[in-house]
Structure 1
Amino acid sequence: MYIQPEKLTFTISEAVTSTGIGRTKLYALIKEGHLETRKLGKRTLIPAPSLRALVDNLPRAARIAA
């Protein structure tokens, strides 16, 4: 059985798919300094810990009374 190693970085498209955050909002978060990026040629890569920290630090949604 092949176990895929944990991703170290995400492309913009992968980050959009993985988080559900839209492309425009993702670029805004990068511009505002909320996400770290690295460049490899023309590719913009987001380190996994930076993306995880962003999601972990989002405010919790309000609970809806049943």
Structure 2
Amino acid sequence: MVGDNRKYQHISTKINKIFQQITPEMVTFSIAESWQDVTHSLTLFGSAKSSTYRIKSLIKHRFIHIL
């Protein structure tokens, strides 16, 4: 099976932009891995769990057409 590396990179970039809506404190490790420090975003979202649900919702909304 051959993957579409350009499409994968494009979607990865869009997902990282969604992460940055939650917190600018993010480290991208590779095309498929990044970490977010939501410590300073807790006042906006209430908890790390709430931040996670928000990220999931944003990604689902953005990519609903390809799910």
The bucket for the TM-score relative to the shorter chain is under 0.3
Q: Provide the TM-score with structure 2 as the length reference.
A: 0.26
Larger Rg: 1
Q: Provide the TM-score with structure 1 as the length reference.
A: 0.27
Higher helix share: 2
Higher-RCO chain (CA-CA 8 Å, sequence separation at least 6): 1
